[in-house]
Structure 1
Amino acid sequence: MKRAIGGNSAVTTKDDSYTREDPGIERVKRIRNPALVRERRTQLLDAALELFVEKGYHRTTIRDICARSGINRASFYDFVQNKDDILRRLLYRMHHPERPESNGEPYDPASLASFEAYLIYLFEFAWTENREVIQLTYRTAGDMARDDLGEVLSHDAALVDRVAKGIDHFYDLKADDDRVALIANVIVFLNAFLPLRGWNLRQFDAAYLAKTLARLVTDMIGTLKTGAGSEAQRRQA
């Protein structure tokens, strides 16, 4: 019988400071070279992700991860707590695509020249960098502990909110237009759709996919101002 992944634990929001209330964290704190911690942790996460996709989460062992990453088992706990911790870090990385120049901060749509530029980045990142993590999320969702699944759903809701704020920033729509939330949810769905349909989309270049979807979405948003109005507005008419 498979046990639930994870359990009750406290997490913070940035990956570098992502910690759990676990005695082993003291070993991580003793390493005073942040660049080394980031490099080794990335090695472990990348190796684990490959194995989770190849073998499944439950069939992958810490020994497997160490062998694939080239990091010995004695050092494993200097950088992560356990296998559950690795999974949580991978899920966090999925919901927080980083700007290369931002020290780990996720993109703010308003920081770019257009909403279409933000969507291109979001979709291309999902296809080129986040594909396996998104696939892993859907494969392991049924085995997650309730608090971990809640964390995933919370990150998903935060992404929807960030996208909705981007729509508000770039498009002159009324604040109570409930279609904004609907479109934001569609965008987040499309962001997951690409990796989940990867088997049938491999013939397309990542940039082409991202630009095509981004243009479709922005064209759709452009019709909101000329459409029939929000549900609330129609009820008042």
Structure 2
Amino acid sequence: MANKSKPIPSLVKDQELVKIRRGQIIRAAVDLFVEKGFHKTTTREIARKSGLGIGTLYEYIQSKEDVLYLVCDFIHTDVLQQLDEEMTHGHTGRDTLVNAIRDFFRVMDRMQDYVLLIYQELKSLPGEMLRYVLAKEEEITSRFERILERGIADGSLLLEPGSVKLMAHNIVVLGQMWAFRRWALGRHYTLDEYTQHQTSLILQGMQPKDQVAT
């Protein structure tokens, strides 16, 4: 069962406006957190960079930890939506896996500052928020587990059931590695080249004999 996000209270009742303003806050906060770090950034600085007054900011969040939580929830929600959309298509497990890896790596590229921020500052979240964020990480891994299991079931992937969870974690880490080490990898590979190489490595040993040359 999916974990429901902890609602962040807002004094504003217009949910569309809340979404817009929190989007501004998230983008401003990421820039500041990456530049200065979570602890050295003040809510007043977040308000200024997001184009809001400090009083207005507190109509949408209650604390700096709320902002970090919203950043984490934003990226996880985006990733899960991409993977769920890919899984609704009528592909074989192998085709779904290839497409899901591509989509996941693209999200990691597009949100690399967010990804770095999550792993640098995750420890700053209070208990309930931290548990939710970690559970969302597990949800992403579980999507890849389901894709791998589909491939095993339809015969398009050869993988021992006991290796499914580990392989799913490997895929997630390889996607995140593009964000963590792009400063080095980007000198040698484009995103598409990196994705192609990693996908090939992931598929090695999992392809039935009639698909090895494809």
2 CA distance for matches of 1:202 and 1:79? 37
* Residue number in structure 2 paired with 1:117: 99
Q: 35, 38, 44: which one pairs with 1:57? A: 38
Amino acid at match of 1:120: R
Judging changes above 3 Å, is the alpha-carbon distance between structure 1 residues 163 and 214 closer, same or farther for their aligned structure 2 residues?
Answer: same
The runs of at least 4 aligned residues of structure 1 exceeding 4 Å deviation read: 173-176
Tell me, in whole angstroms, the C-alpha distance in 2 between the residues paired with 1:12 and 1:137.
19
From 14, 31, 34, the counterpart of 1:31: 14
Moved more, 60-69 or 169-178: 169-178
Match among 193, 202, 214 for residue 217 of structure 1? 202
Q: Secondary structure at the match of 2:59?
A: helix
Residue of 4, 23, 29 corresponding to 1:12 = 4
1:85 aligns with 2:76: no
Q: What is the SS of the residue equivalent to 1:214?
A: helix
Q: Matched residues in 2 for 1:196 and 1:174: separation?
A: 30
1:98: Cα distance to partner? Answer: 5.2
Distance 1:119 1:87, change over 3 A: same
1:217, distance to aligned residue in structure 2 (A) = 1.9
Contact 2:25 2:47 in 1 (8 A): yes
Give the direction of change, closer, same or farther, for the CA distance of 1:77–1:12 in structure 2 (3 Å limit).
farther
How far apart, in 1, do the equivalents of 2:208 and 2:74 lie?
Answer: 33
Distance 1:26 1:50, change over 3 A: closer
d(CA) in 2 for partners of 1:221, 1:37: 46
Structure 1 gaps, min length 5: 1-10, 100-104, 225-237
1:189 maps onto 2:189 in alignment: no
Residues 198, 141 of structure 1: CA spacing in aligned structure 2 closer, same or farther, 3 A cutoff?
same
For 1:137, give the aligned amino acid: I
Distance 1:223 1:144 in 2: 44
Q: TM-score, normalised by structure 1?
A: 0.73
What's the CA shift for 1:190? 1.0
Matches of 2:158 and 2:204, distance apart in 1? 18
TM-score normalised by length of structure 2: 0.80
The CA RMSD measured in Å over matched residues stands at 2.9
Rounded to whole Å, the distance in 2 between the matches of 1:220 and 1:174 is 7
Equivalent positions of 1:65-80 (< 5 A) are 65-80=46-61
**Structure 2 Cα separation of the partners of residues 211 and 111 of structure 1:** 23
Structure 2 CA distance, aligned partners of 1:98 and 1:176? 26
1:174: how far off? 8.5
- In structure 2, the CA distance between the partners of 1:98 and 1:185, relative to structure 1 (3 Å rule), is closer
Worse overlay, 80-89 or 137-146: 137-146
In 1, Cα distance between equivalents of 2:79 and 2:136: 14
Unaligned runs of 5+ in 2: 210-214
* CA distance in 2 between partners of 1:117 and 1:176 (Å): 21
d(CA) in 2 for partners of 1:78 and 1:84? 15
Say which SS state the counterpart of residue 208 (structure 1) adopts: helix
Q: Are the counterparts in 1 of residues 83 and 103 from structure 2 also a CA contact under 8 Å?
A: no
**In structure 2, the residue corresponding to 1:107 is in which secondary structure?**
helix
Count of aligned residue pairs for this structure pair? 199
Name the residue aligned to 1:169: 150
